[in-house]
Structure 1
């Protein structure tokens, strides 16, 4: 496979090349956008122009940031992977049609996810008799197979059968990519916790619980805060939640 790569630095580490080598056919275009900002922290946009028909209508791209250009590019490539692979794998994966009740009678309760436990929208008409499209998934705890509604597994409406109406908005929250499976799963789990925590206590719902930073901080954090300060941006870390035993914080800047 040949592809044209425009804008990326010539010297990139192994992790970046793993992504680039794994992507489907198509040209890569990349460019930094931190030049439009005065803070000077590297931010890159990387886009894949796919040639495969399975990705028609989808523009895989990522925006990455980091302490170095390579770290920013790596983050952007990871976001492309999160867009590309769910679409390619789900579109090629077989779907099972039926209601939860019917499938339980055929296969047993353990191997079918009960839709009533899957955070249905308020007032949803979906019940255990509703015909749905299902796809294979794995339970992380023991690796066993389980059927889940495609409504929750799809990355985009492109993966749905013609005329299929999902019972909830297609949500891509919880996507994870990384150099190995554990990394990718951890990335996805942390994204769910991040969005659940600070997403519920953000902007209009901000409780105003600011965090006093200790005098001694890791060098990487101190450097970032100092770079913001040099640009006359005051960073205010805020507490969102410690639900599930993890610290969930977000930062705002006073410019």
Structure 2
């Protein structure tokens, strides 16, 4: 009997640990999306090192948390103080006078709004026919995730999740992007404009960004500074790169790959 009790005790402990890890992963899922124009390439020297780019920050729009007090607002200075050192690790020279910079970096930041429970009414239970490895077919109940709720649609623009529409309707990444757009996230967007473009642009011409990087993290049970530091570290690695789709990273796991082709949320199968 003692052996059986020990067995069940170990089983319960393992189950609790597994649930704890799964919960931690779901709450630490950083989303990064990086886009660059066709005529932008970060130049490398003969040693393969990125040539420094001189930049100046420009304060954009702050999206406040609907429940926050005025004194709890995340200031532009706080964002820059944490973001700048991470960007400097990747050969960005920052906070320089506007007359000598190559790029102006527009920074937007803040919080997305968590969708209400009724926002998920658009998820419809459907039956899908799936072929098994042995050639047999079976019916699988699935949720259709072909569109965002109204709140999610607005959030998706802020975190770079609108690319979901290009994914297979029943792909796991599509479902994760949908979930990311429906939860409360702390986000930062950095958009780079070439100074020469801004100076020479005609009034009738549209603004043409050189690159933009979106990075965000679920804002549940995490300090502001910790959240900003985590997403700044991840986002800064890929500024100026061009990807087809947003990618997830678990910031609690230090064994992830940092190449754009392999950058993926660990434990999630590829589409």
TM-score clears 0.5: no
Higher relative contact order, structure no. (Cα contacts within 8 Å, ≥ 6 residues apart): 2
